[in-house]
A and B are shown apart, each in its own frame.
Chain A
Amino acid sequence: MKHSVLHTALAAIAIFGAGNMAASAAWEPVRPVEFIVPAGTGGGADQMARTIQGIVTKHSLMKQPMVVINKSGGAGGEGFLDIKGSGNNPHKIIITLSNLFTTPLATGIPFSWKDMTPVAMLALDEFVLWVNAEKPYTTVKDYVDAVKLAPAGGMKMGGTGSKQEDQIITVALEKATGAKFTYIPYKGGGEVAVQLVGNHVDSTVNNPIEAVAQWRGGKLRPLCVFDAKQMAYDEVVADGKGWKDIPTCKSQGLDIEYLMLRGIFMSPKATKDQVEYYVELFKKVRATPEWQDFMKSGAFNTTFLTGADYAKWVETEEKRHETLMKEAGFLATPGN
C-alpha cells in the first residue's frame, strides 16, 4: 500500500517536472515503467530483468521506478499479448527469450515480434553441452560414440520447457549424430542442472549461468559450446579451465550453432523518441560494472544491436526458427 502511494506521489512530481521542461527535452517516462518478463521467477530472463532493475535503481538511471512483472502464462504468451495489446503505452517494455519465436509456432497463440517495437539486443545467451563429471566422456567424440551405442531413446536429455530452445538443440543433435534421444522437459534451468548432477538425465544443454555452480563444484563437465567461436571469458572457473577453453561444437564435429536472444521490445505504436530513450537507458546500463560482472558470471555473448540491424537480426532468426520447428515437427496443428 505504502508502495503505491509513493508511486503516485513520485508520478505526480514527475508529471510536474516533465510539464516544465517538455519543450526542450526528449521523451521521458512519466509513470513507473513495467518491465515484463514472459517467464517465471528465478529463470534466466527473470534474473537479467531484475539485475537491470537493480542497476537502474542503484545508479538512478531513470526518474521513474522500474517494476518487474512476471507474465509467464502460456509459455510466455501472456506477456507478449500484454505488450501487443498495449497500443501506444510507452511505459511497458518486455525482455525476450527464444519463446518470442517458439511460443507462437508451437502453441498458435497469436503474436509475433512484428506486433511489437524492437528496442535493443542486450546480449545473446550461450548453450553448452554438459555431462555428469562422473561419466567417462571427456570429449564430444566420447559422448557421441556413447550416444550412438545406446539403444534408440536410451540417452536422456534434460531441458527447459517443451518445444523450446533446449528441445530444438536436442533435435539438431539427433540429426547430427543419427541417434535418438529421450527428451525430458523440466520447469527451470537450475532444476535441469541438478537432475544431471543426480544422474536422472544423461546430458543437458544448459546456459552457462544455470550450470556454472555445479561445474565449479566439480559435479558437471562442459563438452562444447553451440556457438561459431569460443566464449570470450578466459578467467579460470574450474579444473584450471575457463569458459574460453570450452571448444565449439563445430570444431568437434557437431555442426550446430544456437544462441538465445536476450532483447528488449516495447509497445507496437511507440514513437521514435520513446525507443531512443530506452536505447540510451540500456547503453547506460551496459556501461556499469554490475552489468559487466553479470555478463561475466553468465559467460554471455555481449553483442549489442539496435534499430534496423536489430530488426533484421530478429527477422532472420524468426525464419530460422520456423525452419527448425517445422523440421522437428513442433508446429501447432491449426485449429487445435
Chain B
Amino acid sequence: MEELVNLFHGFAVALQPFNIMVMVLGIVLGVIIGVLPGLGGANGVAILLPLTFSMPPTSAIIMLSCIYWGALFGGAITSILFNIPGEPWSVATTFDGYPMAQKGKAGEALTAAFTSSFVGALFAVIMITLVAPLVASFALRFGPAEKFAVYFLAFCSFVGLSKEPPFKTIAAMMIGFALAAVGLDSITGQLRLTFGSTELLNGFDFLIAVIGLFGIGEILLTMEEGLAFRGGKAKIDLRVVLQTWKEMPQYWVTSLRSCLIGCWMGITPAGATPASFMSYGIAKRVSKNGHNFGKGEVEGVVAPETAAHAAGTAALLPMLSLGVPGSPTAAVLLGGLLIWGLQPGPMLFVEQKEFVWGLIASMYLGNLVGLIVVLTCVPIFAAILRVPFSIIAPLILVLCAIGAYSVHSSTFDVVLMLVFGVVGYLLKKCNYPLAPLVLAIVLGDKAEEAFRQSLLGSQGSLGVFFSNSLVGTIMVLGLIALFWSAIQEGYSRLRPHSVA
C-alpha cells in the first residue's frame, strides 16, 4: 500500500506543467535520436546530459528517461521503413517489419511496433512498481556463469531459426564471432587480430556492421532490381492505427511471453538486444504462424518490440537499486544521477523517495505521451515511402554515412560501413542469413568474456555451468532450444500417424 501512496505522490510530481513540457521535449528529441542510425540512445543521452544540469534532478531524469523512451520508439521506424536498425535491439524488428513495409503495410507494422513497445514498457513498469526490492535481489544471483548461460540460451534459440541450411547459419555466426574477437581481449589485456593497425583497436562496432550489412546491402539489392520500390502503396491514413489495434489482441500470448522474457533479460542485466532476438526466436518456434515469420507477419514485429521495451525499461531497475546499468544508455543515466548528487544503490529507494517515485511515475506517463506522439506520426512516416526511391536512396546513404561516422567520430568507420555493405550484398546473394552474423557480433565478446570469467573462477572446470539450479536450468533450456528441431522430428517419427 505504501508503494501506491508513493506512486500517486510521484504522479503529482510528474504532472507539474514544467515536467510535462520536459517530457514531450524529451520524447521528440529521443525519436529523432532513435531515427538517426548510429547516434543511438546512449550517445544521444550523453550529448544532451549537460542540458539538464540546470534543472532540478527530478525534471532532469524525467527528461533523460523520456529521451530514452523516445529512442526506443524511434529505433523501430527506420528498421521497418528502410531495413536499417537505428538501435541494436531493433535488428529483430527488421525481419518482419521490412517485408511488411514492402507489401505496402508500413502503417500496420509501425502501429504494431509502437503499440507493442508500449505494452512491453507498461508491463515492466508495473513490475518495477510492485516488486522492485524483490526483483533487485534476484539480479545479485547473476555471476559470470549465469550470464554466459543467458547468452548461450540466446544463441541456441536462434540456431535453426532461419530457413537456410543450418551450416550456412553456423558459418554466418562464426564469421560474426571472428569479427567480435577483434580488438582488446578484456581478459588478458592484450590486443588481438588488429595486425598493428590503430584503427582496429576498437574492434568492429556492431552499429557500423549493421548499418552496412542491412542499410547499404539493401540499397545495393534494390538498385540491382532496377530501383523498383515496393512500398509505394502504403496507406497514409490514421485509420490504419485503429485497424491494427483490432488485430492486436489475438497475439496476447506472444505479448505476454515477450514481456516476461524482456523483464528477465533487463534485470539480469543482459539487456534489450538478446531479449528481442530470443523473443523473436521463441515466437517463431511456438507460434502457429511461425512458418510465415520473415515474410511480413505482424506477430514477428510484436514479439521483438515488446521484449525490447520490457527489457529497456526493466534495465533501469538494477541501475537504480544496485548501481549496475542494464544497458549503455542506462550507464549514461547513471553518470547523470551521480552528477546530480544522487547515489544509486540500495539506499536510493529509502532516502530519495520523491525522486525514485517521480521517475517511476514518469515512466508511465512518458510512455503514454510517447505512444501518442509516435502514433500520430505514423501516416507521416509511412508517407516517406511514397517518395521515389531514386530520391530517397541517396538520402539513406547520407544518413547511413552520418550514422557510421558519429559512432566514434572516425572516417575509417564510414569506409568500413561501405565494405560491410558489399559483404552484406554478397551474403544475401549467396543466401547466407545475416541475422546470426549480427547476433554473434553483438553478443560474441560478451559471451566470451562471461565464459572465460566463469572458467577463471572455477579454475577451468566446466562444471561451473551446472553448479547451481539457476545456471543449470538456463543451460538445459539452451540445449533443448538448440536441439529442438531434432527433438521434434524424432517425436513425429515415433508417432507417424499423429502427424498425418
Contact = CB atoms under 8 A, between A and B. Distances in A.
Interface of A: 3, 40-42, 46-47, 50-51, 53-54, 57-58, 65-75, 77-78, 81, 106-109, 153, 156, 161-164, 182-188, 190-191, 193-195, 197-198, 200-201, 209, 212-214, 216-219, 293-294, 297, 330, 332, 336
Given A58-B53, A164-B189, A217 B346 contact: yes
Contact of B323 (A58, A193, A195): A193
Given A58-B53, A190-B334, A182 B343 contact: no
Contacts of A194: 139-140, 322-324
B190 A198 contact: no
Interface residues of B, number: 53
A74 B144 CA distance: 23
B183 to A, nearest CB: 7
B346 A216 contact: yes
Contacts of A214: 323, 345-346
B368 interface: no
A312 B336 CA distance: 34
B338 interface: yes
Contacts of A74: 183-184, 191, 194, 198, 201-202
B289 to A, nearest CB: 39
B198 A77 contact: yes
B188 A42 contact: no
B331 A41 contact: yes
A297 B343 contact: yes
Contacts of A198: 140-143
B143 A195 contact: yes
A66 B141 CA distance: 40
B190 A336 contact: yes
B42 interface: yes
A214 B347 CA distance: 8
Given A41-B328, A213-B323, A108 B191 contact: yes
Contacts, number: 159
B408 interface: yes
B47 interface: yes
Interface string B398-441: 00000000001100000000000000000000000000000000
Nearest to B330: A42
A40 B183 CA distance: 15
A183 to B, nearest CB: 8
B188 A212 contact: no
B376 interface: no
Given A69-B409, A187-B186, A193-B323, 16 more contacts: A42-B332, A42-B335, A50-B339, A73-B408, A78-B198, A78-B408, A156-B457, A161-B189, A182-B459, A194-B139, A194-B324, A200-B143, A200-B457, A213-B346, A213-B348, A294-B338
A216 B344 CA distance: 11
B104 interface: no
Contact of B339 (A51, A153, A200, A216): A51
Contacts of A58: 53-54
A55 to B, nearest CB: 8
Contact of A41 (B46, B189, B339): B46
Contacts of B190: 106-107, 332, 336
A73 B412 CA distance: 14
Contact of A73 (B42, B140, B183, B323): B183
Interface in B167-215: 183-191, 194, 198, 201-203
B141 A213 contact: no
A216 B343 contact: yes
B50 interface: yes
Given A69-B409, A78-B202, A198-B142, A186 B184 contact: no
